Structure 1
Amino acid sequence: MSEDHKKQLEQQLWNIANTLRGKMNADEFRDYILGFIFYKYLSEKMEIHANKILKEGGDTIQFQDIDENTENGNAYIEAIREDALQSLGYFLKPSELFSVVAKRGSHKLEEDEAFNVAAESTIGYSTKQNFILEDLQKILTNIQNSTMGTDSEEDFDNLFEDMDLNSTKLGKTPEARNKVIAKVLSHLDAIDFQLQETELDVLGDAYEYLIGKFASGAGKKAGEFYTPQEVSMVLAKIVTTGKTKLKSVYDPTCGSGSLLLRVAKEVKDVSNFYGQELNRTTYNLARMNMILHGVHYRKFDIKQEDTLEHPQHLELRAEAIVANPPFSAKWSANQLFTTDDRFSQYGKLAPKSKADFAFVQHMVHHLSENGIMALVLPHGALFRGAAEQHIRKYLIEERDYLDAVIGLPANVFYGTSIPACIMVYKKCKEHPNTVLFIDASQHFEKVKTQNKLRLEDIDKIVSTYRERNVEDKYSYVATLDEIRENDYNLNIPRYVDTFEEEEPIDLKTVAKQLVEVEENMQDIDSQIADYCNQLNIPTPF
């Protein structure tokens, strides 16, 4: 697919999304449009899989043409259902396919006035379109129900719960809501997602594009579920350094799952994806995002809970860990955690008002011996004192886990303009007793009100990290002794000197220039006085 075609598809989907917008905010219509795209994806995957089974069995019939009301038709459906639940993890009947429902919703009924009057008296509303809302709501529920008792049940549980088709936000009346939904389904049905092209992740890329667009309009809430693609690329490239395959990748604050999927793009294969997310709606979005990107339900394990208070992957030791935790979030810092394996060895807990290092400790606990972890933190985590300084000292002095600190430009994240940094940790460092500092804060492109890392900025950060380059005013490798001398303060300007010397000032030349200016002013004053005398008016001085 050409880049132009890809952009055209993304714009088409965004235009359809705006059909739903109305008076809804970005969060609300995001849930509907992404849900409908996901339903279309499941339907098309189901149809492709079913037609393949029928073809391999020597049948010429297509899945959509099977008559569900006949004994022979039901025999076909049961055989396909059994296979689909094993292979896809869910099942849809022919009558439940997206294209079938979309066509039914857009089909015009009799348009004469007599018919509409009769329809209004019979079913309570006048319509020129088939009413599909109730059927559609049942289908979304049936997708979930089809997985009950199977290995995929947890992955599909309440997946469509944020799509309330009876919400007045879609329209004040059932007729109005039906009209909007039918229109959206019809427009989506006309788009070819090219799922047959296994080498192309067309729909996955479009989904990521939409998530990013919604995040840019969601204000402060955006940080809860989305990391800008450019920052994701930096994190993903760093944790995959020297790897072509990964046994496991983990994000303890996974949001929409985009960071996990970005890591997968940097290697040939990821065996297992693990994530945890607190927000229920975002948790649903993450599971949809995984499935829609072709990650088999057996290969991902996304949980919904508070990561620090109720961790869900206690035995996990991941080869790659990435995260963009909420900046300086509050947590309980309950004294019971002093006996928790994640925190017990440090001697102190992160403060209640700032959980940044609690996330660091949690991630270090889950990092395998040969793994790399990279997370985004506010700059305050580099230099704040008290318990945070104590934890930094332990990680650097006692464990020698800190590998690099990377300063990012301000205003690259949605919802906050504060500058942030990336901290990289490894349990088995190739360069012990040193920490690489990179100041990338001045390397960006300004796009409207947002700063954005360019590809050359990303490449420079990653190559500097991988090759451990030292560059004047950009990067520096500090020894443990230097960090110790700075009392474990990791503020980047302490190690990377970006000071620009000004040219020396020649005071003799400046004095001479001042004398010349004074002489010129006297000449000008004389001219003004002469003009005033000629005009017979008082001088202004």
Structure 2
Amino acid sequence: MTTNNTLTFTTKTKELIDELKSVCASYGLGNDGNEFKIISQIFLYKFLNDRFAYEIKELKPELAEAEDWAEQLAQLPEEEYEVLRFQMKASTAFLKPHQLIGYLFQRQNEPDFAKLLDDTLMDIAVSNNELFAVKTEDGQKVPLFDRITEFVRSKRDGFAKALLNKLVIFNFENIMEEGFDFFSTIFEYLIKDYNSDSGGKYAEYYTPHAVSKIIANILVPEPVSNVTIYDPSAGSGTLLMNLAHAIGPDKCTVYSQDISQKSSNLLRLNLVLNQLVHSIENVIQGNTMTDPYHKKDGDLRKFDYIVSNPPFKLDFSDDVDTLNKKENKDRFFAGVPNVPKKKKESMAIYTLFLQHIMYSLNATGKAACVVPTGFITAQSGIEKKIRQKLVDHKMLAGVVSMPSNIFATTGTNVSIVFLDAANKEDVVLIDASNLGTTVKDGKNQKTLLSESEEDRIIETFTHKTEVEDFSVVVKYDDIKAKNYSFSAGQYFEIKIEYVDITVEEFDNKIQDFEKNLRTLFDEGKTLENEINENLKNLNFQNV
């Protein structure tokens, strides 16, 4: 597809999303807690419908020429129709003729149309449950769809009709072969009002594009295949999708866990859009710290690649006893943060995620974790113990300190710690804090990196290049000598600039210095005499 056509379809897709949001607003659901479920699920229904249509027409080209392809499809004998199920890609939802958008469109004026729409979505979810269901940590399955019209308290039929009428305007069939860049843009637009990086309890942090790109490209500098990738705090999957794109969706299997149901549902949508349906069975909704789900041979599963942008601070005081149990001692080798008497929400939960990542990495694995920049120089405590193990066990690839405000609305400066269990030699430390352009993002400031700046970070790290006041390449022993500091600035050379002068210029400068000194000495002597005279004039009566 040409660039102009791609831009046209991008614009039309965004318009569809805006139209669906407008319908929600018209029925009192604007900014409602359930709006994201309606938008994401009705959008997903549309996408699955059009992907099914696209593949059916690939299998039976005559349908593409039919005036009403859905009606002609419905005329097929049941046996022939079922054969199509086995001919289609395993990652495609299989729909019955009466579950297609066109069929529902024709029946929209019937009584209880809202119930018909909901029943259709639920039937699709049930019949495709094995492929699309997200699991919880206790084995329950979260179906693909909810009964979305039940979120409206009145005029449900009108709401259902309004949604459906938006779906027939636009056709996804022509963009099914578009790649990651297209669908990541659409997904980001789709969820822009539903993901927050403002913190709070179990906040869904949205990782900026620059951070995702830098992590993916540094972790995968050259082709790999048949690998596992994992995020223990996956959110909506931005880091995982960028990493999977760098590797190839058919060359990796995604594993994830996140405590948020909303995030897990959004991640499922992201996987569908990016040809990673085969990994949905590995999407787990649950608490990674207390109940890590992914296991193999009786222990936590070890992965080839791990990425994470965990919450930095969070009150997990209710879980401390569980985390301190004997079975967790190896995983949390550096310890579990103590519960403060005040400000429990300041507990540094990211240190648990980082320890979990280290434990979950296989013998040749690589990982990247976003941390507050304070972590890289902390002089004591859990943070220091983690850095010591990374150095002493030689599993550190490097650190990139990012510009301030790379995450809008969070005042915390961040760095990216790169792990490499096989790296026994040089470590790269980059100070990128002076890069980027500051822009307004609502009420907040945000720093944006240009593409050339992103590439500069990636190339410098990948090629282990030293650049004055930007990057250093150090040995593990160098890091030990600096009290295990991961800050590039502490390794930069302090340079003294020398200026060549003649003998005559040197003599003139010395003469000037001597003259100035004599003047200062004379002024000091005068001041000393004045003080002595004033002291002589003092007596008891004057005091």
TM-score interval (norm. to shorter):
0.7 to 0.9
Q: 1:267-290 CA distances to partner (integer Å, 9 max, x unpaired)? A: 344331111111012111111211
Question: Does structure 2 retain, via aligned residues, the 8 Å contact 1:348–1:391?
Answer: no
Aligned partner of 1:286 in structure 2 is 267
Q: Deviations over 1:304-350 (max 9, x none)?
A: 11111111112332222111111133443447656447735836345
User: 1:48: how far off?
Assistant: 2.9
Deviations 1:502-535 (A, max 9, x none): xxxx9x9xxxxxxxxxxxxxxxxxxxxxxxxxxx
- Cα deviation for residue 465 of structure 1 reads 0.6
Match of 1:2? 3
Alignment partners' CA distance in 2, 1:88 and 1:458: 34
In the alignment, does 2:158 pair up with 1:179? yes
Aligned-pair CA distance for 1:217: 6.9
Q: CA deviation at 1:27?
A: 5.7
Determine if the alignment matches structure 1 residue 192 to structure 2 residue 197.
no
Residue 306 of structure 2 corresponds to residue 321 of structure 1: yes
Distance 1:374 1:54, change over 3 A: same
Q: CA deviation at 1:372?
A: 1.3
Query: 1:422 corresponds to which residue?
Result: 416
Residue of structure 2 in register with 1:475 after alignment: 471
Which residue pairs with 1:535 in the alignment?
Answer: none
Instruction: Return the TM-score normalized by structure 2.
Output: 0.76
Cα separation, partners in 2 of 1:27 and 1:256, compared to 1, 3 Å: farther
Residues 343 and 241 of structure 1, relative CA distance in 2, 3 Å threshold: farther
Which of 375, 379, 390 is the equivalent residue of 1:395? 390
Residues 195 and 158 of structure 1: CA distance in aligned 2, closer, same or farther (over 3 Å) = farther
Q: What are the superposed Cα offsets for residues 165-196 of structure 1, whole Å, 9 maximum, x if unpaired?
A: 1223xxx522xx44344333323322232456
Do the aligned partners of 1:395 and 1:402 also contact (CA within 8 Å) in 2?
yes
What's the TM-score, normalizing by structure 1? Answer: 0.76
Range 184-193 or range 418-427, more displaced: 184-193
Distance in 2 between residues matched to 1:98 and 1:219, nearest whole Å? 37
Q: Tell me, yes or no, if structure 1 residue 255 matches structure 2 residue 235.
A: yes
**CA shift in 2, pair 1:31/1:446, >3 Å:** farther
Relative to structure 1, the CA distance from residue 212 to residue 87 in structure 2 (aligned partners, 3 Å threshold; closer, same or farther) is closer
Distance 2:496 2:72 in 1: 75
- 2:384 maps to a residue whose letter is Q
| Matching residue of 1:456 | 452
Alignment of 1:271-420 (within 5 A): 271-297=252-278, 301-315=282-296, 316-331=301-316, 332-334=319-321, 337=324, 339-340=326-327, 343=330, 346=333, 348-351=335-338, 353-384=347-378, 385-397=380-392, 399-420=393-414
CA shift, 1:417, in A, is: 2.8
Deviation at 1:253, TM superposition (A): 0.9
Matched, 1:441 2:426: no
Q: Deviations over 1:99-156 (max 9, x none)?
A: 3324544xxx6xxxxxxxxxxxxxxxxxxx87531111111111121135x4655579
Q: CA RMSD in A?
A: 3.7
Q: Residue type of the partner of 1:272?
A: T
- 2:142 corresponds to 1:167: no
Question: In structure 2, how many angstroms separate the alpha carbons of the residues matched to 1:51 and 1:497?
Answer: 65
2: distance between equivalents of 1:95 and 1:345? 53
Q: For 2:495 and 2:158, how far apart are their aligned partners in 1? A: 62
Matched residue pairs, number? 470
Do the aligned partners of residues 157 and 25 (structure 1) sit closer, same or farther apart at CA in structure 2, a change above 3 Å counting? same
Q: Deviations over 1:417-451 (max 9, x none)?
A: 3211100011111x52x432111112112232322
Q: Percent identity?
A: 21
Q: Hey, what's the Cα distance between the residues in 2 that align with 1:183 and 1:347? A: 55
Q: Is the 8 A contact 1:20 1:184 kept in 2?
A: yes
Q: Distance in 2 between matches of 1:356 and 1:334?
A: 18
**Cα distance, 1:164 vs structure 2:** 3.2
Distance 1:247 1:63 in 2: 40
Instruction: Provide closer, same or farther for how the CA distance between residues 200 and 324 of structure 1 changes in structure 2, counting only shifts above 3 A.
Output: closer
Q: CA deviation at 1:366?
A: 1.9
